[in-house]
Amino acid sequence: MCCFGVRVLLLLFIVGLSYLLNSAFEHIPVLVWYGALINIFSIFAMGVDKFQASRDKKRIPKVLFTTLSIVGGVYGIWLASWAFKHKNREVSFVLTHGVIAAIWLIVIILASRYGFFHAA
């Protein structure tokens, strides 16, 4: 996950997979698939970083975690941070992702209120 292009390709892959899963399971909206996939990937990325940190190997940059949070994986990051006890003592990390989580909570509430999560 070294460069911006790889992150964009990963995001496009997750979006494409969300649409593919939606075509197979039409009763589940694309946004639900996207949210599930991006959070699963976020948990996986935090797990890999924790594993690398415990072995003093090359780590995943914090910018990837911030990018994952901004595009919707903030709750996966929080869950993994709690489950793996990883990065939960870094005040800047916790505050940054706390603000992003609050913003996403508002977005989710507004999206559900205006019907974005209902299957077509």
Distance CA 77, CA 66 (A): 9
Q: Which of 66, 60, 62 has the alpha carbon at shortest distance from 96? A: 66
pLDDT tens by residue, 24-52? 998 888 888 999 999 999 999 999 999 99
Q: Per-block average pLDDT, block size 10, for the chain (120 residues)?
A: 72 89 88 91 92 88 88 92 86 90 91 72
Distance CA 35, CA 31 (A): 6
57 and 38 Cβ atoms separated by less than 8 Å = no
